[in-house]
A and B are shown apart, each in its own frame.
Chain A
Amino acid sequence: MSATDRGAGRIPPVKPPRFGFLRRTYAMLAKELIQLRRDRLTFAMIVVIPVMQLLLFGYAINTTPRHLPTAVLLQEDSDLGRSILKALENTAYFKFVHEVQSVEEFDNLLLSGKVLFGVEIPRGFERAVRRGEKPALLVAADATDPVAAGSAMSALGQIVQTALEHDRVAGDPGNPPFEIRAHARYNPAASSRLNIVPGLVGTILTMTMLIFTALSVTREIERGTMENLLAMPITPVEVMLGKILPYVGVGFIQASLILGIGVLLFGVPLRGSLPMLAALSTLFITTNLAIGYTFSTLVQNQLQAMQASMMFFLPSILLSGFMFPFAGMPIWAQYLGECLPLTHYLRIVRAIMLKGSTLENLRYDALALAALMLIAMTIAVTRFRRTLD
């Protein structure tokens, strides 16, 4: 601008541009698109979240699950017993994964959650059938998740009957030669509340714990305090532990709150040991905090940290057995689910509260949680950048 243009009154009055609203909106829109294109993570979320949801809902979730893991206790080895088992397996609801020798083993498998069903053919069963004594075939179900057990249970009698007719094992369909005595263990009323309330403990803790630590490192970077922190003599492990530990206390309070409400208000029983529940809950809380912290070391800013947390939270809800029966998911989804801490914690919290399981029963899930925690911490410590390079 030359000096003469600057003189007072020489500036032509500013006319509002035509279509100003549209121009400004367009300017804003163009800017947003550019920023969106540069923000790879948001871009990924646009694609990944709907695709993931669709795939998970479409393939992984099955509310009438089949091939449920089942244990068999054969008190006698008879042809009739074998054909009944065959018939059960042919229904595709049951999959015999364990053949046990004692009632104790049978119970332990149910308590640890390795099987959802147990079938017992009692001693002298075949003879009793021939004599027309109508003996009972015992089917025990882990009913902590009523959805998983329910459909198989309700179909049980009918299906076995038709299967037996087909196999011509016994004659008169109107007068079955034996009865099936089904026992829905742990949750006889099939109350879904008993299943969901302990599950909520895990779900709520997953969400809150993840977000607490996911923001922790990025917050330091965004506020500019990271430069100062890095210039001081502190190691990555110290930073990590210092950021995780306060929230272990927070998580513990949260867990107590939810569990307390669950027991007092919703009447969820606590059949197992409270100290063990507290200890394993603390392990679960720490695992989630470690994973959140790991995200924090991987992303660039707080927004990305939130997004990463959501990306982790979504499969946690869908694939852990919280919303839909774990046993009903296809194998690949079950493998994915095994990588999520929530899966293991759900088994733990449901087993301790509803079944009164012991640590021995839950060893696998406890070890899995500890392993996930250590993996997350290792990644976090190695990924923590000690310089500003």
Chain B
Amino acid sequence: MTDASAAPDIAIEVKGLTKSFNGREVVHDLSMQVKRGSIYGFLGPNGSGKTTTIRMLCGLLTPDSGEGTCLGYDIRRDADKIKRQVGYMTQRFSLYQDLSVRENLEFVARLYGVPNARAAAREMIERLGLSGREEQLAGELSGGWKQRLALGACTLPNPQLLLLDEPTAGVDPKARRDFWNEIHGLAADGLTVLVSTHYMDEAERCHEIAYIAYGTLLAHGTVDEVIAQSALATWVVTGDGLGALAHELAGKPGVDMVAPFGTSLHVSGRDHAALEATLAPYRSGGGQHWQHGAPSLEDVFIELMSRTKDNFQ
């Protein structure tokens, strides 16, 4: 742990990570920093390189170029040391389906050399609220319980850093809420959590977020910072004929994004002047109610994504 004391408040620090598979670059020149004890949200569309980045952080993949440290250990050379202090929850349930809850937890505890694996597993079962189900096969658990078990398995060895890859995918809202409460509890105890997700409400529960698309980190900071950085102007339109309006506005100068939100329509653009000019005739047309709105995180992300996609085509 002498290495770690060099930067005691930084859990993850990487620079210029790049990774290609079969000539296709999946992560491009990615740099990021995660503070100890924080919850860091990792957002981006499917196939954007989130999983690949997480795997590089815990030594499951070797970066083609770039360097960095995780808990003060070099991600290229010290994968073994990193593994001992990192809990990694894979996107797909990857505990043994044909082992019971207790057997899975005992296996993990033994692998990490937790003293008295049996007791540690029993304690975790109680903490997870899985008492009474400990002899049930992991494969027979419902999605929400599997996810709890997986989280329990990766926190069992008392790691300093949790890497959670889309932990709440396919889990109902109540279980999702419980899960996040648990994560906040862990972070309060000093654990660093890096969590990837698709859900905007989850992003808003993170201390800091990073948005990654097409392997490139596009924005990072607190939620407010990311929204402010986008410099997006957004109009919220309510009233009749929104469908036709959306169709008409799409692609007009200054309009970067048109997105229906329930009974309203969000029209956003980076170039404020151009957006105003395009919208002026519609606003004066009447029939609909126009209002300046703050862009949501989702607006910002979708806009970021559409912008990057252009660069990649």
Contacts and interface: CB of A to CB of B under 8 A. Distances in A.
B167 to A, nearest CB: 13
B80 A388 contact: no
Interface residues of B, number: 22
A369 to B, nearest CB: 32
A228 interface: yes
User: Chain B's interface: helix, strand, loop or mixed, by majority?
Assistant: loop
Given A224-B94, A228-B94, A387 B88 contact: no
B89 to A, nearest CB: 9
Given A225-B95, A225-B96, A230 B60 contact: yes
A227 B94 contact: yes
A234 B111 CA distance: 7
A227 B90 contact: yes
A233 B83 contact: yes
Contacts, number: 47
Interface string A208-245: 00000000000000011111101111100000000000
A389 B83 contact: no
B295 interface: no
Interface in B54-75: 55, 58-62
B290 interface: no
A226 B92 CA distance: 11
B137 interface: no
A233 B84 contact: yes
A222 to B, nearest CB: 12
B62 to A, nearest CB: 6
B94 A389 contact: no
A223 B61 contact: no
B80 A233 contact: yes
B92 A387 contact: no
Contacts of A226: 94
Given A233-B111, A233-B112, A228 B88 contact: yes
B80 A224 contact: no
B230 interface: no
Contacts of A388: 55, 60-61
A231 B80 contact: no
Contacts of B14: none
B112 A225 contact: no
Interface string B85-106: 0101010111111000000000
B249 to A, nearest CB: 20
Nearest to A388: B60
B304 interface: no
B108 interface: yes
A93 to B, nearest CB: 57
B59 A387 contact: yes
B97 A227 contact: no
B111 A227 contact: no
A389 B60 CA distance: 8
B18 to A, nearest CB: 13
Nearest to A230: B60
B65 to A, nearest CB: 14
Interface in A241-259: none
A231 B84 contact: no
B111 A231 contact: no
Q: Which of A230, A232, A386 has the most CB of B within 10 A?
A: A232
Nearest to B150: A228
Contacts of A230: 60
Contacts of A225: 94-96
A300 to B, nearest CB: 15
Nearest to B111: A232
A388 B9 CA distance: 30
Interface in A345-389: 386-389
B90 A224 contact: yes
Nearest to B52: A388
Contacts of A389: 61-62
Contact of A224 (B92, B111, B112): B92
Nearest to A232: B111
Contact of A228 (B79, B95, B112): B95
A234 B80 CA distance: 8
Contacts of B83: 231-233
A196 to B, nearest CB: 38
A339 to B, nearest CB: 34
Q: Which of B60, B62, B80, B96 has the most CB of A within 10 A?
A: B60
Nearest to B83: A233
A236 to B, nearest CB: 12
A389 B88 CA distance: 17
A90 B136 CA distance: 74
A386 B92 CA distance: 19
Nearest to B84: A233
A234 B196 CA distance: 25
B93 A232 contact: no
Contact of B61 (A232, A234, A387): A387
B197 to A, nearest CB: 19
A387 B62 contact: yes
A38 to B, nearest CB: 15
B60 A231 contact: yes
B62 A232 contact: no
Contact of B58 (A223, A224, A231): A231
A113 B115 CA distance: 53
Given A223-B97, A234-B111, A387-B79, 9 more contacts: A225-B94, A225-B95, A228-B88, A231-B60, A231-B83, A231-B88, A232-B108, A386-B79, A388-B61
Interface of A: 223-228, 230-234, 386-389
Of all A-B residue pairs in the complex, the 6 with the closest CB atoms, nearest first, are: A228-B94, A231-B88, A233-B83, A233-B84, A224-B94, A232-B111
27 contacts: A223-B96, A223-B97, A224-B92, A224-B94, A225-B94, A225-B96, A226-B94, A227-B92, A228-B88, A228-B90, A228-B95, A231-B58, A231-B59, A231-B83, A231-B86, A231-B90, A232-B83, A232-B108, A232-B111, A233-B111, A233-B112, A234-B111, A386-B79, A387-B60, A387-B79, A389-B61, A389-B62
